[in-house]
Structure 1
Amino acid sequence: MITMMWWGYSGMSGWGYALMGVSTVLFWGLLAAVIVLATRSASRGVRTGASAPAPEELLAQRFARGEIGSEDYYAGLEVLRARHDHPIGR
């Protein structure tokens, strides 16, 4: 009967319980981070499959939607076409 009194006692101190709690939180946090990073990586791979539109196409789309006027459109085209003369681009 005396052995039944200690049944289930693991002999773990307060530090053992604290370490167990912290390691459990770290495990689930790490697992969640891995899932989030894997999901982001997979979605980024799908997104980069399509090529990005050229800057001139973006400018034309903004002009077609009415976001910029004709002066801004032609000024933007001039800047885009002249940028290869910039010293940084060489």
Structure 2
Amino acid sequence: MMFDWSSAGWGWMFFGGIFMLIFWCAIIGLIIWGIVQLVRKGQPSSSATKTHYMETLKERYAKGEISKEEFDQMKKDLLS
């Protein structure tokens, strides 16, 4: 009996479609991830910003620009 080649490809076509869908979803996901990383790179993180402000606050206190009470209040505000 001869092999019927016309019906042999349907299963592979189904799996090929699934793999193509997975491939394009991965490509689109990588593009979105890359855009998000580029946008985040331009913005400082909140912990880096707090650290910068704390250093400025300490410098102002060391120079005598603010009192101990003002320093403590501003520190409390920054850390909360």
| TM-score, L = length of structure 2 | 0.51
Q: Which residue matches 2:39?
A: 46
Q: Which residue matches 1:13?
A: 7
Q: Which residue matches 1:37?
A: 30
Relative contact order, higher structure (CA 8 A, sep 6+)? 2
Once residues 11 and 35 of structure 2 are traced to their aligned partners in structure 1, the CA distance between those partners, rounded to angstroms, is 36
Normalized per residue, the structure richer in helix is 2
- Structure 1 residue runs of 4 or more that deviate by more than 6 Å after TM superposition: 58-62
Would the alpha carbon gap of residues 56 and 65 (structure 1) be closer, same or farther in structure 2, given more than 3 Å must change? closer
Aligned residues: 56
Once residues 29 and 63 of structure 1 are traced to their aligned partners in structure 2, the CA distance between those partners, rounded to angstroms, is 50
- 1:68-79 superposed matches below 5 A: none
Would the alpha carbon gap of residues 55 and 40 (structure 1) be closer, same or farther in structure 2, given more than 3 Å must change? same
Once residues 75 and 6 of structure 2 are traced to their aligned partners in structure 1, the CA distance between those partners, rounded to angstroms, is 67
Q: What percentage of aligned pairs have identical amino acids?
A: 16
**Deviates further, 28-37 or 45-54:** 45-54
Is there any run of 5+ residues in structure 2 with no aligned partner, and where?
58-73
| TM-score, L = length of structure 1 | 0.46
Q: Which residue of the other structure, out of 2, 10, 18, is the alignment partner of 1:25?
A: 18
Is there any run of 5+ residues in structure 1 with no aligned partner, and where?
1-10, 68-90
